[in-house]
Structure 1
Amino acid sequence: MFSFFKKKKTLREIIPQNFVDMHSHLLYGLDDGAKSLNETQDLISDLKSFGFAQFITTPHTTPLVWENTKEQILDQYRKVGKELNMSEVELRVASEYLIDDSFLKRLENEKLLTVKDNYVLIEMSYINPPIQLYEIIMELNSQGYQPILAHPERYNFYKNDYDSFKKLKSAGCLFQINMLSSTGYYGAGITAVADYLLKENMYDFAGSDVHHQKHISAFNAEINLKNVDAFESVLNKNEFFRQ
């Protein structure tokens, strides 16, 4: 008897070969990502087995939690580069910046670590957006940066407020989907928001946002999206970051 139901693909099955990841936490010792050199190596090895080829790792810069300075991130990147066989790993570094009320001061005092050229990865608190959100975006633009908002689908305060997503896009934000949001890893509600944003063609890039082995295991989960073709198209947009 033939099944009328098409088997869902797993996330690992649809990753383009030689995929370029632009959001991860692979550098050990900086944030809630990898905790040791062995873990850094294992995460990279696992991702490569899925088809990943280039990595732009993005440790958090989060006031009062992970107070990583640009110099600290670059120093750790150089250290890890010496410890790894860099001829076998195409690893670059940027940062994922929490935008809060102190972020404008940071913009005044330092040049940001970008994922490519002027493209900078930003995130918000999961509790509420910063009061100066649009002022921050405008200031980033005025200084020549192109903000990419990490995982917009995960901000629950926007769950039923789709006009805010459109307003953010109009203000000049690009959107990056977390790949695991496609599987229900963060919850069915977040997958539903991601599906909406995919349907509306609002995503520009995709990132693994891998921190640890639980994330790696979740790549074996089935995709729970209606707009799978749109998701695959977003994955292919990461070609922009290839070097």
Structure 2
Amino acid sequence: MFPFLKTKHFLKDLLPENYIDIHNHLLPGIDDGAKTVQETTHLIANMKELNIHKSIATPHTFNQKWNNTTQTIKTAFESATEDKVNNAFLKNYASEYMLDSFLIKKMQEERLLCIHENYLLIEFPLLSSPFHLYEMLFEIKLQNYNIILAHPERYLYLHNSIKKYEQLKDFGISFQLNLLSLTGYYGKMIQKTALQLLENDLYDFTGSDIHSKTEINQFKTVKLQVPNKKQMDRLLLNNSIFLK
């Protein structure tokens, strides 16, 4: 099904020079990522060894689980970037917003945090499709946000039909690949779906989704094959627009 190259690559060796990561959980103490500034600093040091040049921090905003606000995220960012090395690495802060009715209400009350200009990173629930999915996406688009869907390969209820992904793309939604999905880190079914979406050229951007040292080790220790190395190289370069 996939025209695999014989060559296997460590994930870290695929990253281009000046790669910017647009999805991670580096900010301390506000979600399931780094717990302290010291952990943030340690993760950043390791990410630089992976050839990640800069990053945009995207902690979760998820009602009744991680009730982050613009202020809590800003405060965590300022705490992390008091260190000069961290400050040079962390280009900006945004959020990974859970798509639900609370997000729509929040959006009506304030401007949401974007990773760049009007690019908004959102996620869906992992196990069941949101109610009124397209109605909520339409509401977000009406506010002139350019929607990036985090890790579409991880939503199990989309796995049974490539047409569901194509419908989202036709609606103007950009897809962000979790690079670790290619290694099987989240399971074989998710790996298979990631490769299928890659083969069909449905991804627009990539991200690490690093929470801890565990994910960093995957970049360093797991070799993988990609369907088309040149296509993968082009995809990885797409993130460069966020360096501007």
> Any stretches of 5+ residues in structure 1 without a counterpart?
none
- Distance in 1, matches of 2:212 and 2:29, equals 13
* Cα shift readout 1:128-169 (whole Å, capped 9, x = no counterpart): 121121111111111110010000000011111211101111
Give the 5 Å matches for 1:4-43. 6-43=6-43
Give the structure 1 partner of residue 231 of structure 2: 230
- Distance in 2, matches of 1:36 and 1:84, equals 16
Q: Compared with structure 1, are the counterparts of its residues 123 and 134 closer, same or farther at alpha carbon in structure 2 (3 Å cutoff)?
A: same
Q: Compared with structure 1, are the counterparts of its residues 138 and 9 closer, same or farther at alpha carbon in structure 2 (3 Å cutoff)?
A: same
Aligned to 2:128, the other structure's residue is in SS state coil
Give the structure 1 partner of residue 100 of structure 2: 100
Matched, 1:213 2:213: yes
Give the structure 2 partner of residue 242 of structure 1: 243
> Any stretches of 5+ residues in structure 2 without a counterpart?
none
Q: Compared with structure 1, are the counterparts of its residues 86 and 7 closer, same or farther at alpha carbon in structure 2 (3 Å cutoff)?
A: closer
Tell me how far 1:86 sits from its aligned partner: 5.0
Tell me how far 1:89 sits from its aligned partner: 2.5
Aligned to 1:219, the other structure's residue is in SS state helix
Give the structure 2 partner of residue 192 of structure 1: 192
Equivalent pairs counted in the alignment come to 239
8 A contact 1:103–1:136 mirrored in 2: no
8 A contact 2:81–2:87 mirrored in 1: no
- Distance in 2, matches of 1:225 and 1:187, equals 16
Give the structure 1 partner of residue 50 of structure 2: 50
- Distance in 2, matches of 1:165 and 1:57, equals 26
- Distance in 1, matches of 2:157 and 2:225, equals 22
In structure 2, give the amino acid aligned to 1:95: S
Give the 5 Å matches for 1:161-180. 161-180=161-180
Q: Compared with structure 1, are the counterparts of its residues 25 and 126 closer, same or farther at alpha carbon in structure 2 (3 Å cutoff)?
A: same
Structure with greater contact order relative to length (CA < 8 Å, sep ≥ 6): 2
* Cα shift readout 1:153-191 (whole Å, capped 9, x = no counterpart): 000111112111011111111000001011111111111
- Distance in 2, matches of 1:87 and 1:25, equals 15
- Distance in 2, matches of 1:101 and 1:113, equals 17
* Cα shift readout 1:23-55 (whole Å, capped 9, x = no counterpart): 100011010000111110111111111111111
* Cα shift readout 1:116-137 (whole Å, capped 9, x = no counterpart): 0000000011111211211111
* Cα shift readout 1:58-79 (whole Å, capped 9, x = no counterpart): 0000011000011111121112
- Distance in 2, matches of 1:90 and 1:124, equals 25
Identical counterparts, % of pairs = 38
- Distance in 2, matches of 1:209 and 1:231, equals 18
Give the structure 1 partner of residue 160 of structure 2: 160
Tell me how far 1:229 sits from its aligned partner: 3.3
8 A contact 2:37–2:79 mirrored in 1: no
Q: Compared with structure 1, are the counterparts of its residues 191 and 227 closer, same or farther at alpha carbon in structure 2 (3 Å cutoff)?
A: farther
8 A contact 1:15–1:235 mirrored in 2: yes
Q: Compared with structure 1, are the counterparts of its residues 223 and 229 closer, same or farther at alpha carbon in structure 2 (3 Å cutoff)?
A: farther
Deviating beyond 6 angstroms after TM superposition, the runs of 4 or more aligned structure 1 residues are none
8 A contact 1:150–1:175 mirrored in 2: yes
In structure 1, give the amino acid aligned to 2:223: E
